[in-house]
Amino acid sequence: MPSPRRTIEGRPLGSSGGSSVPGSPAHGASGGRFEFQSLLSCRPGTDSACARLRASDSPVHRRGSFPLASAGPAQAAPTLPPEEDRMNLNPSFLGIALRSLLAIDLWLSKKLGVCAGESSAWGSVRPLMKLLEISGHGIPWLLGTLYCMLRSDSWAGREVLMNLLFALLLDLLLVAVIKGLVRRRRPAHNQMDMFFTVSVDKYSFPSGHATRAALVSRFILKHLVLAIPLRVLVVLWAFVLGLSRVMLGRHNVTDVAFGFFLGYMLYSIVDYCWLSPHNVPVLFVLWNHQ
């Protein structure tokens, strides 16, 4: 009588009949022969071992034997973001350049802030720098211009002083608007002990002192006849005033640089809109009746 281990349903294990036997090469499932032979190799007395072997070789417990149709959303391939979103993840050259410029600006401003406090490297010069700060403040310039305009007896002097007052008011308005829009905080090492500040003065871009220094110095050099030493002194005052803003820790370097540029261009606007008896006669008529 043939052994059960050698035949299955009257056919040898190695025979290739018309119908393929599960586990044979003709069945098409890789590794099926070894699974089937391992199941046949169970002898009486090893029922528990055979049961564990059948359970472990079952398609249900075999890794990767689940049908593709049963794959849930968790097994789905991750979807890539759209191409335009992937392109935005790469930093642009302009963004890198701006970040580098900002880092250099902050580093240089901190290095030049030698008068930011009494314990700084040049802390003993701080009172002198604060006095220079008052010389470029808007209130002394407004009050001084208004006083000189009221005391002037010549029409030419009144015209120049009236345009200087107009330039100072325009400077205050423009700087306040830009500070409110940009909202750049003052340097961290700054001490808020400035003379007569308003709410918008907690922002640093641009420097109002630098803007006013460039505007007033260009105005004076254009409309006042001064000797060469005095003209050099006016330019030096504007430059030192802007430098003192960084040394006191009030502003960054870019705040002062943009302030100089804005003040220089602001005078061009004032010169283009020059107030005179020809284009604004009402002001001078009212002034004459006072």
Identified catalytic residue from 61, 137, 209, 289: 209
95 pLDDT band (50/70/90 cuts)? confident
Q: Lowest-pLDDT range, 27-36, 134-143, 192-201?
A: 27-36
Q: For residue 90, is pLDDT > 90?
A: no
User: What pLDDT, on the 0 to 100 scale, is given for residue 238?
Assistant: 95
Q: Look at 8 and 216; give whichever has higher pLDDT.
A: 216
Nearest by Cα to 138 from 196, 74, 66, 87? 196
For position 113, what pLDDT does the model report?
87
* Residue 197 confidence (pLDDT): 76
Tens of pLDDT, residue by residue over 223-268, are 988 899 999 999 999 999 999 999 998 999 999 999 999 999 999 9
Give residue 261's Cα distance to chain centre: 23
* Confidence at residue 66, expressed as pLDDT on a 0 to 100 scale: 45
Of 45-49, 123-127, 192-196, the least confident: 45-49
Q: Which of 137, 223, 251, 289 is catalytic?
A: 251
Quote the CA–CA distance of 44 and 54 in Å, as a whole number.
Answer: 15
pLDDT score, position 70: 47
Is 165 a residue whose pLDDT tops 60? yes
The answer to whether 221 and 231 are in contact (CB under 8 A) is yes
Q: What is the pLDDT of residue 76?
A: 53
Residue found under tokens 């909202």: 183
User: Can 223 be counted among the known catalytic residues?
Assistant: no
pLDDT higher than threshold 70 for residue 41: no
- At 119 the pLDDT is 81
Residue 263, pLDDT score: 95
Helices (H), the chain: 32-40, 47-56, 83-88, 93-112, 126-135, 138-151, 155-182, 208-223, 228-247, 253-272, 281-289
Q: Which residue has the higher pLDDT, 280 or 112?
A: 112
Catalytic (active site) residue 137: no
